[in-house]
Structures are given as structure tokens and as C-alpha cells.
């Protein structure tokens, strides 16, 4: 293998000073902010002609409303790609959400009818020619 790359990025959110309970109401956490988000990607090239890669995207649970009464479930999606390159001509195939995972990107209020579903599996083919 000529070249291999690994990419890892992670993020999270915490509330350092929890708000006190007032008049029997509990404190709230930021709406739509995921507590954990992790992306891991690995890709490589062979002789500079062929390449392949995959990425894993994990998003943790998050609240869907300001009152923190609705929790959206966490999800994981997998992306994959492959390419072939020659002098002046490239072909690349990307597959997003490889396993066609159903997930919720965001939601509003307490009704499941107000949830925004994530994108289903999609395929992208790119052809490039340079002259």
C-alpha cells in the first residue's frame, strides 16, 4: 500500500454548572446538542491508481425540546468510497449510509410526527477528465 490515512475527530458537550431546580422544575440541558459525536475514517491508496476508504459516524443521544422531556436516540452510520485514477481520468464511487440505517437527525416537541429522519443510503459516482 502506497499510502494510508486515519482520521479521528470527537466532540462533546457538558454543562459544568447545572442549573438548580426551581419551583419543582428540573434544570435543562442544551436542546439538539449531542453529548457525544465521534467520526473515524480510514482510507488508503495502492500504487496511486486504486484507493478505498470507510468512515464511521456516531452521534449520541440529545434532547429534542427545550424542556428536556424528549430524547432523540443516538445513531451510527457508515460511509465507504473507492476510486481508480489514471493520467487525466478519475472515477470515484461514494456510498453514504452504507447499511441504510434509519435514524433521526432532529426533532421538535413531543410528537414523533415532528421528527426529521436522516438521509437513506445514497450513491454518488464521479467521473473526472483533465485535458
Answer whether residue 22 is part of any domain.
no
Sign (positive or negative) of CA dihedral 66, 68, 72, 76? positive
Report the distance separating Cα 121 and Cα 67, nearest Å.
33
C-alpha distances in Å from residue 129, one per residue of 26, 88, 114: 59, 5, 44
Answer whether residue 20 is part of any domain.
no
Task: Identify the bridge partners of residue 37 per DSSP, sorted by sequence position.
Answer: 11, 59
- Structural domains of the chain, count: 1
* Model pTM above 0.85: no
Report the distance separating Cα 92 and Cα 106, nearest Å.
31
Task: Tell me which residue range forms the domain holding 75.
Answer: 3-13+31-129
Report the distance separating Cα 68 and Cα 107, nearest Å.
12
pLDDT value of position 121: 98
Q: What are the per-10-residue average pLDDT scores of the chain (131 residues)?
A: 72 60 55 69 80 89 80 91 92 97 84 84 96 87
pLDDT value of position 114: 81
Answer whether residue 65 is part of any domain.
yes
pLDDT value of position 14: 62
pLDDT value of position 2: 61
pLDDT value of position 93: 97
pLDDT value of position 92: 95
Task: For residue 43, give the C-alpha cell.
Answer: 482510507
Answer whether residue 21 is part of any domain.
no
pLDDT value of position 24: 54
Query: Read out DSSP for 68-101?
Result: S--EEPPEEEEEEEEEEEETTEEEEEEEESTT--
Amino acid at each position: 500500500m502506497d499510502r494510508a490515512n486515519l482520521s479521528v475527530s470527537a466532540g462533546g458537550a457538558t454543562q459544568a454548572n447545572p442549573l438548580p431546580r426551581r419551583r419543582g422544575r428540573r434544570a435543562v440541558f442544551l436542546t439538539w446538542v449531542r453529548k457525544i459525536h465521534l467520526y473515524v475514517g480510514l482510507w488508503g491508496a495502492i500504487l496511486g491508481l486504486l484507493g478505498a476508504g470507510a468512515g464511521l459516524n456516531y452521534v449520541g443521544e440529545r434532547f429534542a425540546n427545550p424542556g428536556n422531556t424528549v430524547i432523540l436516540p443516538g445513531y451510527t452510520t457508515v460511509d465507504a468510497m473507492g476510486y481508480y485514477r489514471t493520467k487525466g481520468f478519475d472515477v470515484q464511487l461514494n456510498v453514504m449510509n452504507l447499511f441504510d440505517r434509519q435514524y433521526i437527525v432532529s426533532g421538535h416537541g413531543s410528537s414523533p410526527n415532528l421528527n426529521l429522519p436522516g438521509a437513506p443510503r445514497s450513491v454518488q459516482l464521479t467521473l473526472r477528465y483533465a485535458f
